[in-house]
Structure 1
Amino acid sequence: MSAANTPASNGASGGYSWPVEDYVDYGDSDLDEVVPGPPPATTTTRRAGPSGHTAPSASPACPPPPAPSAFGPPIAAAAAHAASGPSFGARANPGYLLALERERDLRGDLAAAQAALARDREALRVAQTTIQRLCWQQQQQQQRREPPWRQDQIAGLREENARLRDQLRALSDQQPGARAERRRTPEPYE
């Protein structure tokens, strides 16, 4: 806006005018304009208006940065989704998401298979230990058990003992009074 359209020049030339309260000075005559509604925050600097009154000179502050919601929920959600992934193109690709889900499922199956394999190995180790202990016990029992030839020898000695006992009894019967004595005392080896 040029200086010819300022309130002073319009008032002096008989042109249109507006209330002094709606006039804002941005520090440059080309940026002077009329803003509707109440004036923004002003400073204590004042200047003379068309009728001699003083009007505050405004120095608006820098506008704050727009909030994330100003872009709309879809754009904000897409930005957050892209920030969580390696790249926006990869995250927006449905095939990439399916591959991630498939990889996660495969990793879960692998972990379950590894856990089952560890349990099977532990069960196999316990079974091998049990078998080794049973084999050792069986060997110990076989070593303590008498061999067959030893059992035959014991049976022969028992038969010999019975034969010698019969001979001793026959010799005792030949002596006088031996029968009466045998009735009172038991015979040995019986």
Structure 2
Amino acid sequence: MSQSSRISTRLTSRHWLFVVGFITLLSTNANATLLNSDFSAGFSGWFGDYTYYDISEDNNIDILGTTTFPTELYQLNGGGSVTLMTALYPTGDDEAWFVSLFQSFDVDTLLAPGNQLLLSLAVVGAGDILGAQLVSDDLSKTLNLNGGGTFDITDWAGISATITFYVEDFDTFLGDSLTISNLAITQVTRDVPEPSMFALLALAGILALRRKLN
């Protein structure tokens, strides 16, 4: 297969097809909440997809929903950080040009009315096509997480969703990478304001008036 032919097969929507294909499988066994978000337990709770061009067979090979993470493509950095990479794999001339990491889970429910759910992460990458997103299992909601930051996901409370990270090479020059770190979902409790001095004085006045009338 020529270089131009290989490039033409590299569809940027490929990661979306992978996620949709596994939503049915994973949603039946979704985690109750996002697990191992700091990767302190390795890749426990996570799944991976990757595609490599097998030069001897002149064909793309899709590895879907794996729990085995080759170090050429997935690197644990410590400190709550992981890097996805396009690279030569599984042999010295095969090209792993699409790599993704994802997890299906139920977004936390609100513990009290007025609470807020915040999803935070850092995303740093260098490559042709990079992505990070949160997608509801019914595909009705999509949140772009590219660039990282803090996102208000309060309206996602209780929804089954899949969080996905991916990197894709488009020009046959491998070495594209995407690093995810400091991933967390935090529930912020609404502060109940203490009664103001004016309110206390007003309440005291009402009580005094009631005693006088009685």
Under a length normalisation based on structure 1, what TM-score does the superposition of the two structures give?
0.20
More strand by share: 2
Whichever of the two has the greater Rg, that structure is: 1
More helix by share: 1
